[in-house]
Structure 1
């Protein structure tokens, strides 16, 4: 017994199934339950909805046929069979003349061995559900998960043909989307110069390698951006912060080294951080900080790596009441170069001197760096 038939029969058992009016209310309740199920599932197609409605109508027709009276079998006999008991034959009926007519017999109670009683299947119309069904039990058209049954009707060939016609539309949509994506990619490639010819490429000598790699570094635009390393404006009014000729304002921790040296490039202070990553501190006098208070200043560290040992340095600042400069990182190569960073100082009294701490090897591999000068200028 499928789910539809079971639901209707369960509803009939809740009332007087012999009452035709009650049965009609049950049938209407079944159609109403189907409509609610279809409305709750907008993904069901029109074809599937029609097949479900026809399935209910067929089950109602089958169930209703059980409540119709049996139609007796009617047979025509010309001659009564030999040995037939007289009680089973009906008298001949004469119609107007004396001409013999074939005898008509009616089987009132056929034996059990005869053919089963014939039934007339009722014609059940497409009953529409009422807004309210007084006296009709509720019908649940859903199928329990444990039953294993399903009221889904597989799509017929018409629905399959409809789905088949949808495939070309999907293919067209995917093709248009792919072409649009390719077009956008080509547009951006042209804008970014990917397709430049060799004649259009920049053949100028390479610039000095970028060295700024600060943890809190944000590229600046406009006039306030500091100059690139190696491009400091010599016309600035520089204030000296450190010179190797006066190393007394340098402090090196116990596992770090600071030594004044000289070669063809001039005098410098070679610093080497310890295994703990300790930095060498350079004093920034209180008088210098007083000149920088409330100003936008650019600091310049002139340095290069030890021969054959490129390194990465990190720079931290402590300007007391005037704050700090954030952590900066620079890749230092074999060429003497300038490593710049700018600071916007608050307009307050510094109260004391400050420091600039330089770690000669951010990777803690014991590499050294030569410091030629540290200076600062005030931006106009």
Structure 2
């Protein structure tokens, strides 16, 4: 605290240092400067604040002791000797001598100042428990009387001695703890206050969390987010949430040796498209023959406002429930060595959808496999392609085999016509 001591001493030199009240104001200004310096440096630690206050009080106490000692050593002016022959009675000479004495305060409000005899560190400094020092007007211009060549104070000096002894007995000396002069901030000083006093020694503020702490926090948050996204992705993939539903209807039952392709669409003719002259009629219900039913199938020709048609009702899904439609040899000759199109104009007989099958037996040309179709209560034209590589002309007629219900549930089928488009 050498800077504080120097500043206080300079302030005393520029003022009436013999006046105790003036000195008290200077000391109080130094305390205010210390508090302002601590606030500027954002020091909030009670222990550190108490230590700084204690160091200032030690410096103030030392300066005050020096000032008191200097005032005690001031010379006392003696009156001139009285001439002989006059009244030899000695008149007391009253002289105003400025003497610095400790403020007359009560025990409850007296400020305790640290001393320098046997100074030991204070283990438990407490700023809150130490009352704030107060300055009171000293007793100045006290009359003194010169008796036997020595000035004596009219007031009993024993009162002053008892006061000093009581102060020395109740004083607990304290000293600021040693500190490393090379610590950070040891050389910094606050140079602005009310008296030009340097402020308290600045303390290093609490170290803030650097860039590394922020980077670690960002990395931790990123890791948590990545883990959450990964867990959500794994859950979606494992549960198949994004997969397209596979619950498409299964293909209808099939019969062995058939070549029905359930995925291929059925070609039909529009109601207004009709059939051109290139089409050859293989069967019409108006014909008297050309139909041969199996053992477990019923056939009849129905004529009403809907037109003439052959109603087929199969009782079995095998060959015994088939109806054979005769194909003349002339039509087979036009199909030899090329691809042709067969068209069947059909409708369900009982108003319910039914599945029927179509097979071919074209003598020496071969067969066309087995085709299966689903028909409802609306008249439709079912078309499919047939091709033959053989160019040998057959010498006999062929057959087209139709089963009205491959599920053997007794479904009926109305057949309006069977037509052929050779070479297309």
Q: Same fold (TM over 0.5)?
A: no
- The TM-score normalised by the length of structure 1 is 0.42
Larger-Rg structure? 2
